[in-house]
């Protein structure tokens, strides 16, 4: 991504985010959100975040990394265990990074 | 002795400000590490400190910032990134809709400020507090809301700045960009509350893995929609 494209992306993302927050506060306090929207919203975090995680574990640097020496996948599986038990962002990230660095040292060091 | 309306309002506002601080500070303990991770992930994904901090000031929404950094690092096109940010931040429409009824009588610029600075914690706290009698009028409500959210905002931005600065000193071989999917992991498990949400996560994840080679990183959007669709379908079936 070029520098200009990055800046434009940042500004547009900010604009969209503000618009979402301002939507009902700014334009109407009588309209209700439709039911299907509320139903869909319930699944947004689980679906989107899981998609981001799973892709990042098996596909990076431009290709699939489906070997047993894929240290991101291995570290990710350990971190998933921590995430499942603690549901804590900090612990999951710290443990996952430490396992990744350990594996990198063993496999490539 | 009876207080005049102005004096009552001033007393209510002072009380609202101190309650705003008191209610919000425990959540700041979580804001600091999340901000540090977000900042470090921004520079880890290849953005400059200035770009990371600017995006943090403009978006002020951690999960969507992380999603944007991950996609920028992977070289995704502008439209896919903006669309993903919008999907991750869709919940704000819901917050906006349910908070709006309590903001009657707010000045237009209070609404603009209040919308910009709207985050999960203050939404939840305000919804709970605005039913109390001393927080029934526009000014004390505004004071309560803006005190709590400004404090959150300040702590968040400083944490992101420090994280971005530290992240920029770390060489790419440390793979700091990997902190992004890791931080999402805990959020995924926190978002799984029942069978439909669990299957939404599973479907989103599996489709994302298979659709990884779709052009423009569109696989992510396809996977998100698939996960949401599976969750909604399952829920409909369960409830008749």
State residue B81's pLDDT score. Answer: 95
Per-residue model confidence (pLDDT) at position B82? 96
**pLDDT score of A97 more than 70:** yes
DSSP helix/strand/coil, B64: helix
**What would the two tokens of residue B25 be?**
């500070």
Return the CA Rg of chain B.
Answer: 21
SS3 for chain A is CCHHHHHHHHHHHHHHHHHHHHHHHHHCCCCCCCHHHHHHHCCHHHHHHHHHHHHHHHEECCEECCCCCCHHHHHHHHHHHHHHHHCCHHHHHHHHHHHHHHHHHHHHC
Indicate the average pLDDT of chain B.
Answer: 91
How buried is residue B7: exposed, middle or buried, by Cβ count under 10 Å (0-12/13-18/19+)?
A: exposed
The reported pLDDT for the residue numbered A107 is: 87
Q: Using CB atoms, which residue from B99, B187, B212 is nearest to A25?
A: B99
Give mean pLDDT, residues A34-52: 89
What does the alpha-carbon distance between residue B39 and residue B192 come to, in Å, rounded to a whole number?
A: 26
Taking the C-alpha atoms of residue B89 and residue B138, their distance in angstroms, rounded to an integer, is 27
Region of B101 on the Ramachandran plot (φ > 0 left; ψ -120 to 50 alpha; else beta): alpha
Select the residue of A10, A50, A51 nearest B51 (Cβ to Cβ). Answer: A10
CB contact under 8 A, A80 and B178: no
**pLDDT band at B2; cut points 50, 70, 90:** low
Q: What is the DSSP letter of B214?
A: S
- CB-CB under 8 Å, A40 with B70: no
CA pair distance B179, B186, nearest whole angstrom: 12
Q: Which chain A residues are Cβ-neighbours of B202 within 8 angstroms?
A: 50
Residues 6+ positions from A36 with CB-CB distance below 8 Å: B232
Residues of chain A with Cβ-Cβ distance to B29 below 8 Å are: none
Rounded to a whole number, what is the largest CA-CA distance in chain B?
A: 74
Percent of chain B with pLDDT over 90: 65
Q: What is the mean pLDDT of residues A13-42?
A: 87
- What pLDDT does B227 receive? 96
- Predicted pLDDT at A31: 67
> How far, in Å, CA of B42 to CA of B179, rounded?
10
A58 Cα to chain B: minimum distance (Å): 7
Mean pLDDT of A85-94: 91
ipTM of the complex: 0.89
B95 contact A CB<8A: yes
Residues in CB range of B56: below 8 A, 6 or more apart: B38, B39, B42, B65, B156, B157, B160, B161
Q: Do A25 and B118 touch (CB under 8 A)?
A: yes
Q: Which residue of A has its CA nearest to B123?
A: A21
B40/B160 Cα distance (integer angstroms):
7
* pTM, full prediction: 0.85
According to the model, what pLDDT value does residue B240 have?
60
Q: Average pLDDT in the B206-214 region?
A: 94
In sign, the C-alpha dihedral spanning B228, A20, B106, B117 is: positive
How far, CA to CA in Å, does A9 sit from each of A2, A104, B226?
11, 33, 25
Give Cα B3 to chain centroid, integer Å: 40
Reduced DSSP (H G I as helix, E B as strand, rest coil) percent helix, strand, coil of chain B, to 5: 80, 0, 20
Q: What is the DSSP letter of B101?
A: T
Mean pLDDT, residues B28-36 taken together:
89
């Amino acid at each position: 991504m070029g520098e200009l494209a990055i800046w434009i992306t940042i500004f547009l993302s900010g604009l969209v985010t503000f618009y979402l927050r301002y939507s009902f506060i700014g334009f109407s306090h009588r309209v209700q959100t439709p039911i299907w929207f509320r139903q869909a919203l319930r699944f947004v975090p689980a679906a989107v975040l899981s998609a981001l995680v799973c892709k990042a574990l098996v596909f990076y640097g431009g290709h699939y990394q489906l070997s047993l020496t894929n240290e991101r996948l291995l570290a990710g599986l350990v971190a998933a265990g921590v995430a499942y038990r603690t549901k804590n962002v900090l612990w999951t990230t710290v443990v996952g990074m430490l396992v990744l660095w350990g594996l990198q040292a063993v496999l490539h060091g | 002795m009876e207080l005049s309306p102005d004096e009552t309002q001033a007393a209510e506002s002072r009380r609202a400000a101190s309650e705003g601080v008191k209610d919000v500070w425990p959540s700041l303990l979580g804001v600091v590490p999340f901000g540090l991770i977000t900042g470090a992930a921004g520079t880890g994904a290849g953005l400059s400190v200035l770009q990371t901090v600017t995006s943090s000031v403009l978006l002020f929404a951690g999960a969507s910032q992380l999603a944007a950094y991950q996609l920028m690092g992977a070289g995704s096109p502008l439209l896919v990134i903006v669309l993903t940010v919008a999907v991750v931040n869709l919940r704000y429409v819901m917050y906006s809709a349910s908070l709006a009824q309590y903001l009657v009588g707010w000045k237009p610029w209070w609404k603009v400020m209040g919308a910009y600075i709207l985050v999960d914690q203050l939404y939840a706290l305000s919804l709970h507090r605005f039913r109390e009698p001393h927080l029934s009028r526009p000014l004390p409500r505004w004071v309560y809301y803006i005190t709590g959210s400004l404090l959150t905002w300040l702590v968040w931005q400083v944490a992101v700045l420090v994280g971005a600065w530290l992240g920029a000193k770390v060489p790419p071989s440390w793979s700091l960009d990997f902190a992004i999917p890791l931080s999402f992991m805990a959020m995924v498990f926190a978002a799984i509350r029942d069978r439909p949400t669990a299957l939404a996560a599973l479907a989103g994840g599996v489709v994302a893995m298979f659709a990884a080679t779709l052009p423009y990183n569109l696989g992510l959007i396809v996977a998100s929609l698939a996960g949401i669709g599976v969750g909604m379908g399952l829920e409909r079936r369960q409830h008749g």
